[in-house]
Structure 1
Amino acid sequence: MKVFITGGTGFVGSAVVQELVANGFEVVGLARSETSAQKLISWGAQPVRGSLTSLSTLATAAAQADAIIHLGFNNDFRHFFQAGAMDRRAIETMGRAISGTNKPLVVTYGTTGIRKHVETEHEVADTGLLKWLTPRKSEIVARQLMAQNINAFVVRLSPAVHGAGDKGFTRTVIERAKKATVLSTLA
């Protein structure tokens, strides 16, 4: 089975790529740079050069795959609304490419902002005030594809993941906390 993955060299994506390859899947990963392409090759995956804005590349790779996993997202918080629009277009493009097939398209969405209660698959995560504050509409777009009879799925991820090799938000917070001087008094 051939799986096309975006975000395959990211923290979560690298684990997914390596797990898929170890279990005999043929993996094709989107690579924005030569460094990313070489990482994919070293894990036994085949790179396809492009980015989330390379819509024709996304459409072709999705159409040629048996399954698609979308983990990619541009986490440039200076341009977060543009990143959200880029994500939406990428998901829509891959969805259109597999329309009329039963190929699965797995889309991830973070759970940041979901705090009041446990949400189930029957609730849309992007509601209330959060709907207006977050530009990331991955789950909404996937649900729109589902309504068009496209075999899309949503996997909700933790707001932050952390482990060996982490270079993201959690590691940054931990490193800052280690450097901070904390004064405590005993009462």
Structure 2
Amino acid sequence: MRVFVTGASGHIASAVIPELLSAGHTVVGLARSDRAAAAVSALGAEVRRGDLDDLDGLAAAADRSDGVIHLAFKHDEMRTGDLMGAVDADLRAIEAMGAAVKGSGKPFIGTGVTLGQVIAGFRGRLTEQDALPGGPRIDAENAVVAFAEQGVRSSVVRLPPTVHSLGRYSLLGGLIEIARARGVAGYVGDGLNGWPSADTRDVGRLYRLALEGAPAGSRLHAVAEEGVTLRDTAAAVGRRLGVPVASIAAEEAEEHFGFLAGFVGLDNPVSADHTRRTLGWTPTRPGLLADLASEGVA
């Protein structure tokens, strides 16, 4: 297949693109800057210049492809406090690309986040069958799933907050930077809340399997470990950085953790049983704590 990948210079794409190429697919990667274009080209993909605000360009690229993998999100805006602006831009981009492939039967793989369901009110062990009617990033997830009713083989890969490998740690990376800057690896309260995780290379393989065979309208979980406690994670970070580990009181969380304060205390147990059965996906890479111990974060 000729596959159009957004977010092609990002962390997840660094595993998705090599996985696709090794399976014989051709990749066209979206790049919004010279630096991003160089990264995409270095991975072996064809470069298409543009960004999430170029709706006509996104639609044209989707139309000319045999499949779409949408990884891009305006993370910089989220970090600076404009989460809803990033969410709205994501939804507009999805709608533009979805309209371009309507009735084609092409695979369209969107990206969701397991924590999004918790933020929107879900409680308990999240499965692939659990979905909420709306909320930040959930509207985009639901839009992708709904493309299945319009002749698109659409699916969504929900990412855990910690996608890790080779010194990169997704949302956890922000907590690592805070620990380095403040000289303490922190968690909120007793720290027994857990975040799911997976190695980036296992995640890349799941996107490829979804492109090739995910059922239309499916939700998939890129989760190797259901939930590593934040206390254990902070302890591993503290050992690696050589800083103390401490509980941060809930009332001090915003001052200590900044934009991550709303996430660090959340509990997010997640099952990937259905994903593994449906696509034969079996994570094989090391777990988060082993990764932190062996590769390090310094």
Structure 2 residue runs of 5 or longer lacking an equivalent are: 185-242, 247-298
Distance 1:29 1:165, change over 3 A: farther
Are residues 1:182 and 2:236 paired? no
**Mean alpha-carbon deviation: is it higher for 96-105 or for 154-163?**
154-163
Correspondence for 2:128 among 109, 120, 130: 120
Output the CA distance in 2 between the equivalents of 1:171 and 1:143.
Answer: 29
Aligned to 1:37: 37
Cα offset, 1:13, TM superposition = 1.4
Distance 1:120 1:183, change over 3 A: closer
Give the conservation status (yes or no) of the 8 Å contact 1:81–1:136.
no
Aligned to 1:145: 147
Distance 1:165 1:65, change over 3 A: farther
Q: Tell me the TM-score normalized by structure 1.
A: 0.86
Distance 1:117 1:46, change over 3 A: same
Cα offset, 1:32, TM superposition = 0.7
Q: Tell me the TM-score normalized by structure 2.
A: 0.55
Correspondence for 1:89 among 55, 69, 92: 92
Deviations 1:32-60 (A, max 9, x none): 11111111111110110000111111011
Q: What is the DSSP-based 3-state SS (H/G/I as helix, E as strand, rest coil) of the residue aligned with 1:61?
A: helix
Identity across aligned pairs (percent)?
35
Output the CA distance in 2 between the equivalents of 1:183 and 1:154.
Answer: 36
Output the CA distance in 1 between the equivalents of 2:245 and 2:169.
Answer: 28
Output the CA distance in 1 between the equivalents of 2:25 and 2:167.
Answer: 24
Aligned to 2:54: 54
Output the CA distance in 2 between the equivalents of 1:26 and 1:3.
Answer: 6
Cα offset, 1:79, TM superposition = 1.3
Q: What is the DSSP-based 3-state SS (H/G/I as helix, E as strand, rest coil) of the residue aligned with 1:51?
A: coil
Aligned to 2:211: none
Output the CA distance in 2 between the equivalents of 1:44 and 1:182.
Answer: 42
**Mean alpha-carbon deviation: is it higher for 16-25 or for 66-75?**
16-25
Structure 1 residue runs of 5 or longer lacking an equivalent are: none
Q: What is the DSSP-based 3-state SS (H/G/I as helix, E as strand, rest coil) of the residue aligned with 1:137?
A: helix
Are residues 1:108 and 2:116 paired? no
Cα offset, 1:28, TM superposition = 0.2
Aligned to 2:162: 160
Cα offset, 1:137, TM superposition = 2.3
Letter of the structure 2 residue corresponding to residue 177 of structure 1: A
Output the CA distance in 2 between the equivalents of 1:140 and 1:118.
Answer: 16
Q: What is the DSSP-based 3-state SS (H/G/I as helix, E as strand, rest coil) of the residue aligned with 1:69?
A: strand
Distance 1:23 1:149, change over 3 A: closer
**Mean alpha-carbon deviation: is it higher for 135-144 or for 2-11?**
135-144
Q: What is the DSSP-based 3-state SS (H/G/I as helix, E as strand, rest coil) of the residue aligned with 1:29?
A: strand
Output the CA distance in 2 between the equivalents of 1:96 and 1:183.
Answer: 49
Letter of the structure 2 residue corresponding to residue 159 of structure 1: P
Cα offset, 1:159, TM superposition = 2.0
Cα offset, 1:138, TM superposition = 2.1
Cα offset, 1:22, TM superposition = 2.4
